[in-house]
Amino acid sequence: MEDPNFSWIYLIIFLAIPLARIIPRILAKRRPSVDEYTRPEPFQESQNTQWSAKQESVKPQTKDMQVLGIMHQGANTFDKIQRTLKMDSKELDSILQDLEKRDLIKVIQKQGMFGPKVELYSTDKGFKEYYS
């Protein structure tokens, strides 16, 4: 008697399962997004004038406050802060030293896997200074 042919199982395993993951992604790309249905009307002239008035009332932040803001958002290393603010290293170093002298940030040196690493954290005084 002949053995039954179970090669169709390989089709299910190697074709159907990956296709079951790929097909919903393809359909989601073709389906219009929610934004297209609920897209707001274009701004009218009166709305633009109100926005510009609000925009002028916002005070510009100093570089010290920008650094503190980035640190509050979770950037705790020199590289992350530098990449986010796009500052040169000398300027950022002087700002961080000034913030450390004013006790707005604290510098913690830790031993990492690839050698020592320096992490920067805002103090309570730094939080109060930024949010006041």
Strand (E) or helix (H) holding 118: strand 115-122
Give the model confidence (pLDDT) of 19-54 as tens digits: 888 888 888 888 765 555 555 555 555 545 554 444
The answer for residues whose C-beta is within 8 angstroms of residue 69's C-beta and 6 or more apart is 61, 130
- Predicted TM-score (pTM) of the model is 0.53
Measured CA to CA, the distance from residue 79 to residue 85 in angstroms comes to: 10
Q: Picking from 33-37, 56-60, 88-92, which range would have the lowest pLDDT averaged per residue?
A: 56-60
Which domains, and CATH codes, for the chain?
A: 63-131 (1.10.10.10)
